[in-house]
A and B are shown apart, each in its own frame.
Chain A
């Protein structure tokens, strides 16, 4: 009979388990190789535990990795969507600002004011608060906006 199986702790773990529990003071001395069995038994058991732990750990890692990458991917999508939204808003803001600046140009304001019937006051008059005197005349004015040849755009 081959003794090779004695090394096969994984395949036959139970065959060696009871050995350390049974003291054998009177038993005939076994084959010298068998003497190694009681030493090997605890090692085998630790290895099983270690292997299981490793596999478990790996599974945990894979699981965590999966969760993390799903999270990251989700975050990336969210980021991309927000980035896109931010780009659109930036473009809108720039476009609005462009329109506002163009509307705020003096010639356009003047045209709007003229449309409301307003004229620029070319000859301002002042009231001296101490004497009550009016400096200048408060005539109505044709205004410069009505004159031809000015800037229109």
Chain B
């Protein structure tokens, strides 16, 4: 029994040590793991992470779509749509076999040349990547997806599109092939419109494509905001249409129509001809690069007689004349200081009132009355009317206009010429804005093209463009409008500008154009500014046509004004005036 007891004792001892031994073993193992863990997680963490990221994950861009441009009613004028880029993995395609058959099927689905698809797939049979097609539409995408080819991959890309085509294309602008803004509101309001791309990381498969379901968003995409214009799309279309028809008919070089809302200073339509179709910019860029923007904003020109109404309103405001102030207007006027002006048509001495001066558009008559106003004061008035500085719109490459050399210390000739719109330059929008001030009882409102920017969270940021400014007294403004009503009823274009039922106020302009060498060129720039209804003005329509070769008088502009103003009054639901314009004496 002693041997048995011995064994038992030994067994007892070994049983006592066994747990300790196991514990030691476990402890050692844990230590090894700990060391390895520290090695992986701490010592080599950085390099390992980088290595794994390169090998196992793919970073993809989450597109932050560009915001829309909408008109005053919210109708979309510019938006972003999704197109797809189709790529293939040639080595898997080669492994799968029947490349020719598949290439033909893909080409049929996407409307491509089968040869080109085959070339793309077989050019480098070991390649990981081959581009099959860009800008694939959703319908084509569905068709190609139905082929069920595992080695085709699809990537969504954003594309800018303009549903209304050339309507307001001059204002909205366009984006380049890289989807970056290049002109118009797209460019000027990019900060509101641009989205911010996000970033996602996903695990990579053997062929360097993301494994579905492993995508994790690192940085969410942020869509761009919506820019709301003050433009009425339908009126804009109509104005463009009427302008284009008339410009072709009269053989003009270019033309513009500006419709301004008197009570808000908002631009309801700014038509340009020729104009750009933002969906097909290249066509315009080849034919007429100047038409890529909006000449209504960017082209400065000598406005001519439409300026006479502005000068007359200054005289009334300064108390230096009334609509009945008398003047004798000769055909030609030579002043003591060497100025020499004449009227457009030969005539004897005419006895005119200030109203008559506007009706007859007499340069000599206005010059004699205009000198009553101090030059510095007239300069200040011009500035207050918005001339000589870009408007509040801040359109790309907007023209400031030029109030003449040395203004307000004009030379003798310029001093008189600037009174009737020669020797200084303005843009179409500036002139429309000055008439807005006349129509709005002497208060000029900041010109507005963009009403608001609504960001992706739905917060609306109205555009603030400064406050209203009184330029002339309400009485002077109203009297000027009354005089312009007499121009509309008695002027030589009375039958062409009449809008049945409404009292309208108009002034034409036929300006000589600078030839760029200090003299005047052959062609004339013709224009017409009008206000309706005259008793309670709602709209200003300003039309300008440059060098109409088949009709070089302001008659070229009359039907454009008549039609666009009629449409504006109709669309705005303006009640007809119900009575005729007051009759002011034009002569004595």
Residues of A near any B CB (own CB < 8 A)? 2, 4, 80, 88, 91-92, 94-95, 98, 101-102, 104-107, 110, 120, 122-126, 128, 135-137, 144-145, 147-151, 153
Set A95, A101, A104, A105: member contacting B138, Cβ < 8 A: A95
Whether a CB of chain A sits under 8 angstroms from the CB of B81 is yes
Q: Is the CB of B234 within 8 A of A106?
A: yes
Whether a CB of chain A sits under 8 angstroms from the CB of B325 is no
Q: Which residues of A contact B240 (CB under 8 A)?
A: 150-151
Supposing A122-B563, A123-B566 touch, asked if A149 and B164 sit within 8 A by C-beta, the answer is no
Set A101, A120, A148, A153: member contacting B76, Cβ < 8 A: A101
Please, what's the 1-or-0 string for B392-425, where 1 marks a CB less than 8 Å from any CB in chain A? Answer: 0000000000000000000000000000000000
Whether a CB of chain A sits under 8 angstroms from the CB of B139 is yes
6 A–B pairs (Cβ distance < 8 Å), ordered by A: A92-B138, A104-B163, A110-B241, A125-B500, A151-B241, A153-B165
CA of A135 to CA of B8 in the docked complex: distance in angstroms? 129
Residue of A nearest to B82 (CB): A94
Q: Is the CB of A91 within 8 A of B82?
A: yes
Q: Is the CB of A149 within 8 A of B237?
A: no
Supposing A123-B566, A124-B566, A136-B500 touch, asked if A101 and B165 sit within 8 A by C-beta, the answer is no
Residues of B near any A CB (own CB < 8 A)? 4, 8, 75-76, 79, 81-82, 137-139, 141-142, 161, 163-167, 212-213, 233-234, 237-238, 240-242, 244-245, 247-249, 275, 277, 279, 499-501, 562-563, 566-567, 570, 576, 578
Q: Is the CB of A151 within 8 A of B244?
A: yes
Q: Which residues of B contact A4 (CB under 8 A)?
A: 8
Supposing A126-B576, A151-B240 touch, asked if A102 and B245 sit within 8 A by C-beta, the answer is no
Interchain Cβ contacts within 8 Å, total number: 100
Minimal beta-carbon separation of A75 from chain B (angstroms)? 13
CA of A91 to CA of B165 in the docked complex: distance in angstroms? 22
Q: Is the CB of A2 within 8 A of B4?
A: yes
Set B4, B138, B167, B247: member contacting A91, Cβ < 8 A: B138
Q: Which residues of A contact B501 (CB under 8 A)?
A: 125-126, 135-136
CA of A23 to CA of B346 in the docked complex: distance in angstroms? 152
Minimal beta-carbon separation of A148 from chain B (angstroms)? 6
Q: Is the CB of A148 within 8 A of B500?
A: no
Q: Which residues of B contact A128 (CB under 8 A)?
A: 576, 578
Q: Is the CB of A150 within 8 A of B500?
A: no
